[in-house]
Amino acid sequence: MYNRGVMRVVLLGPPGVGKGTQAGRLCARFGLLHISTGDMLRAEVAAGSELGLAAKAKMDAGDLVPDDIIIGMVENKIRALDGGCLFDGFPRTLEQAQALDASAAKPDFVAELDLDDDAIVERMSGRLWHPASGRVYHTRFAPPQTPGKDDATSEPLARRADDEEETVRSRLAVYRKQTLPLSEYYSAAAAVNENAARYFRVSGAMPPDEVAAAIIAGLGKTL
């Protein structure tokens, strides 16, 4: 059931703005379950499941995976949820946002991170990730302790196929067309309905510690 005492947060923002980095911090700080549809899809692709096979071509092209697949996947997570959670990379369409609002995990807060396209392309060109955990690094802005190796496991880091510049530009175009309307969806709901999620924006151009501090302040919490 909907429970006001539990914090459910949506992190909204373009690909590469730093949602994954902030999600890791916020989940550790507040004991939230990290629900990243991108991580879930990459795990399905790695496992070679039917869902993974269906999603892979869309992901490689930078397109969105169909809503019914995504909503079904998130519903399974929500069913097993007993506490707070943070949605990262979900919702990405109006249909997904409406499904989340109608679910038992209706969000309390929506934090939107902003950054301009050129800065995003620059960031993504140095991005590395650890496939098993989803941990993200950056060759320049957040390097691993040992180049090319995950800090916790020392396993090799990889580049995501969809981080190439051309794919990043098309992901940004998809974001503007299909996901940006969610800013209006959430800000309009917050303006007229006191039971709607609280919506606030934070600049993603600041160093990660400052972005985290601004989000935590927006959640009405302290570091």
User: Is 8 labeled as catalytic in the residue annotation?
Assistant: no
What's the min distance (Å) between Cβ of 223 and ligand AMP? Answer: 26
Q: Would you say 64 or 219 has its CB closer to ligand AMP?
A: 64
What's the min distance (Å) between Cβ of 82 and ligand AMP? Answer: 23
Which helix (H) or strand (E) element contains residue 88?
A: strand 85-88
Binding site for ligand AMP (CB under 6 A): 15, 37-38, 41, 58-59, 62-65, 70, 89-90, 92, 96, 162, 171
Which helix (H) or strand (E) element contains residue 34?
A: strand 33-36
Residue 34 pairs in a beta bridge with 86
Amino acid at site 72: G
User: Is 77 labeled as catalytic in the residue annotation?
Assistant: no
d(CA 73, CA 83): 18
User: Is 123 labeled as catalytic in the residue annotation?
Assistant: no
Q: Would you say 150 or 162 has its CB closer to ligand AMP?
A: 162
What's the min distance (Å) between Cβ of 149 and ligand AMP? Answer: 21
Q: Which two tokens stand for residue 198?
A: 């609280």
Q: With left for phi above 0 and alpha for psi between -120 and 50, is residue 87 left, alpha or beta?
A: beta
- Active-site amino acid positions: 19, 92, 127, 160, 171
